[in-house]
Structure 1
Amino acid sequence: MPLFQRPAGLPTMGQEIVDFLRFVVRPRPGPRLGGRRAGSGMRVDLSLNAPWWRLAHWAVLLWTVNVFVFAPLALSAADAGGAQHRLDIHNLPWMTALIWAPIVEELTFRHALRRPAMLWWFVPLMAAILVQGAGIASGLMAAAAALLALAPAWYPADHRWRAGWRTSWRGRRLARRAYPWLFHGAALAFAAVHLFNFRLNAMALVLLPLLVLPQWVTGLVLGWMRVRRGLGASIALHAIFNGGPLLLIGLVLHWAPELAVG
């Protein structure tokens, strides 16, 4: 099969963009997009369920929209409020950006989008790990939490709701009615966490949302990807999205270090 041949049933990029826009207006927990592996179990959920180049297309789209639309607004807000980004370009956080953040942030903010029973125990657990930041201790805690998240793969299906992995019928009805709040709340929380990437320096509250506009838009796409493709696809897209800017900075530091001075 050619490297870039579109699998049978896989929507075009244009169709996926339209589906994303419709989803954002009216979020809902299903159904899945075409072109994915059959089944709804945890193993399938962790698969990419899309060609790698389709995820790359989404990353390029996000980079383009953020660079030309939302990043200028964020930079203007930072200049107006005196906020400074904490990133040290001479000590790029490769492991955090490519492994820690994609896994921990996706489990924290988007795993429950298709498993709402985990809102009550798994999301607070992952949030506590996220606040600690990347490190050996928090990494071990995240690994243990991930094993808990995978428990439905071997736990008896008829008893999962009692153990906190599935909800009752009444709980599912409530979750469906509240789903737009759940989806958009997750995207807003994801964006808000990234305020910690800045030294705010007494910045006006009204400007804070502008600082994280790129992360908010990215969170919407990652949430859609998680629901429509699966957790594996959202983690992979998250890693690709983070890796692109770091790679660009790394190339500039290597080939034109004078551009990074100042």
Structure 2
Amino acid sequence: MTVSALLNRPAGLPTMGQEIVDFLRFIVRPKPGPRLGAHRMGQGARVDFSLNAPWWRLVHWAVLLWMVNIFVFAPLALSAAEASGAQHRLDIHNLPWLTALIWAPIVEELTFRFALRRPVMLLWFVPIMAMIMVQGVGPVPILLAGVALLLALAPQWYPAGYRWQAAWVTPWRWRRRVRRLYPLLFHVVALTFAAVHLYNFRHTSINLVLMSLLVLPQWVTGLVLGWIRVKRGIGASMALHAIFNGGPLLLIGLVLHFAPQLAAY
């Protein structure tokens, strides 16, 4: 019996420690590959939208993010909120389950991280998804998001000789340029993802330093989600995003159900 079998870990799946080391190396010098070895790896939408890792490994990453945010970054964000008078928009008596578990993981990942392995999508898909994201949950945005995604994925189903290369295959010259600028692209995406979450707060005026501290947890989470997207696929980053959002909401929901008096504090 192999060590992987004893640990109930699929052969080829890196340990959590190895993944953490890979993540730290990656954010120092981001590059659009290669993927981590485990489960189905390769090209195509089916692989890209698969988890490409056991579900419990994504839970491990979610737990790690919760711990880091709770004990390191959340105190800084709370201090910044107190100093600036900013208040979170979350209504604990009307928890946004649909937005947090489905809409945000899908739409935000497609907007911010889909292009990290498909840079040509920066030209048209990302702007469309950004406009859809701003509109919020609704029948029309959901329909538009579905149509945009189908258009983005359609060329892979065409016969090879009839594919619209500009939509699916990035020209080699542009690939080299993107690769040179990739570290900047990756970190701009993470910072933009964090900046968008300033909308979660009500504030009148706040300086740049306090604004940065308010969204430190989202910035770190965005770095991990970006790494997961590149190394595992967009399906894995969507799943981790949903798990990460769901944990705090579940905790709040349990507190409201079993100890509602705590909600007054």
- TM-score normalized with structure 2 length: 0.95
1:87 matches 2:107:
no
Alignment gaps of 5+ in structure 1 = none
- Would the alpha carbon gap of residues 215 and 188 (structure 1) be closer, same or farther in structure 2, given more than 3 Å must change? same
Say if 2:205 is the partner of 1:202.
Answer: yes
Match of 2:26 in 1: 23
Say whether the 8 Å CA contact 1:42–1:152 is kept in structure 2.
no
| Superposition map of 1:37-52 within 5 A | 37-52=40-55
2:15 maps to which residue? Answer: 12
Offset at residue 9 of structure 1 (A): 0.3
* Contact 2:155–2:164 under 8 Å retained in 1: no
Q: 1:136 aligns to what?
A: 139
Higher mean displacement: 55-64 or 35-44: 35-44
Decide whether aligned partners of structure 1 residues 158 and 227 sit closer, same or farther in structure 2, where only a CA change above 3 A counts: farther
Partner residue of 1:106 out of 102, 106, 109 = 109
Give the TM-score, by structure 1 length.
0.96
- What is the Cα deviation at residue 169 of structure 1? 0.8
| Distance in 1, Cα, partners of 2:53 & 2:161 | 30
| Inter-CA distance 3–240: structure 2 relative to 1 (3 Å threshold) | farther
The letter of the residue matching 2:187 is H
Q: What is aligned with 2:169?
A: 166
Cα distance change, pair 177–259 in 1 and its aligned pair in 2 (3 A)? same
Displacement, 1:158? Answer: 5.5
Residue 164 of structure 1, CA deviation: 2.3
1:148 aligns with 2:151: yes
Q: After the TM superposition, which residues 58-73 of structure 1 pair with which residues of structure 2 at under 5 Å, given as runs?
A: 58-73=61-76
Higher mean Cα deviation, 12-21 or 162-171? 162-171
Aligned residue among 230, 234, 241 for 1:231: 234
Change (3 A) 1:76 1:39: same
The correspondence for 2:37, drawn from 29, 34, 37, is 34
- Residue identity matched to 2:136: G
Give the Cα–Cα distance (whole angstroms) in 1 for the partners of residues 90 and 159 of structure 2.
45
User: How far apart are 1:119 and its partner, in Å?
Assistant: 0.5
Percent of aligned positions with the same letter in both sequences?
Answer: 76
Structure 1 residue 161: deviation in Å? 5.7
Shift of 1:204: 2.1
**Which digits, 9 at most, give the CA deviation of each residue in 1:140-178, with x for residues without a partner?**
111112212322431344565644232211110111001
Contact 1:98-1:243 at 8 Å conserved across structures: yes
